[in-house]
Amino acid sequence: MTETVIGVVLAGGLARRMGGGDKCLLELAGQPILKHILDRLAPQVDEVVLNVNGAPTRFDGFGLPVVPDVVDGFSGPLAGVLTGLDWAAEHRPDAQWIVTVPGDGPFLPRTLVADCLDAIAREQADMAVACSNERAQPVVGLWPVRLREDLRHALVDEEIRKVDRWTARYRLADVTFEGHGIDPFFNANRPEDLAEAEAYLQGVSD
């Protein structure tokens, strides 16, 4: 059976270190960071959803479903995961999984979904989280739609906010990805990060 996977770009953060606003709309090599993300993510999934809060019209040019957090208040990445799971359950009942990625990571692995699915099958795991440079990347994960009510209970009733506190309850596959000149989960958190990403892309294109 072919697995149906929905991609969810988590772009609901506060972007304090960038001075506020939407990091995913900042330009990198002449295109919004979100465009770089979509170029890598969209071919791997059946549909892409953008999880952001505030006015959705600022993303009209991308032609994506835009969904705000389903829990009130800024509850961190787990709120985005739950939002994606709820969206998939309502709009794509054929979907078994969602994959979440941050809205400021333009160098995602092009084999992210396939490698996570392989690891889950191989290890008989419930879910997968990406790793690089011996560090887990808890915002980058493959999550089963079947656990959405479990996550809702953890978020709403137990007030769990840390991804690893929730994933510790399940069999988790850690999937390591190697970078080629730059960390595949590089985040543009600060203006100097954006300059580093520009320099990397310039070197690749030279």
User: For residue 74, what pLDDT is reported?
Assistant: 63
Within 8 A by CB and 6+ apart from 45, the residues are 5, 6, 7, 99, 113
pTM higher than the cut 0.75 = yes
Q: What is the pLDDT of residues 20-48, one digit of tens each?
A: 568 899 999 999 999 999 999 999 999 99
Six-digit token string for 79 = 């709120």
The SS3 assignment for 42 reads helix
H helix or E strand, kind and range, residue 138 = strand 135-144
For residue 50, pLDDT over 50 is answered with yes
For residue 1, pLDDT over 90 is answered with no
Burial letters 16-50, b for 16+ CB under 10 A, else e: eebeeebbbbbebeeebbbbbbbebbeebbbbbbb
Tell me the Cα Rg of the chain. 16
Within 8 A by CB and 6+ apart from 148, the residues are 82, 85, 86, 89
Tell me how far apart the alpha carbons of residues 165 and 160 are, in angstroms, rounded to a whole number: 7
Strand partners, 99: 7, 142
Q: What is the pLDDT of residues 93-149, one digit of tens each?
A: 999 999 999 999 999 999 999 999 999 999 999 999 999 999 999 999 999 999 999
Give the distance, in angstroms, between the CA of residue 155 and the centroid of all CA atoms in the same chain.
Answer: 18
Query: All domains of the chain, ordered by start, with CATH?
Result: 5-205 (3.90.550.10)
- Nearest Cα neighbor of 29 from 139, 110, 132, 107 is 107
Tell me how far apart the alpha carbons of residues 82 and 10 are, in angstroms, rounded to a whole number: 11
Six-digit token string for 104 = 């400021």
For residue 206, pLDDT over 70 is answered with no
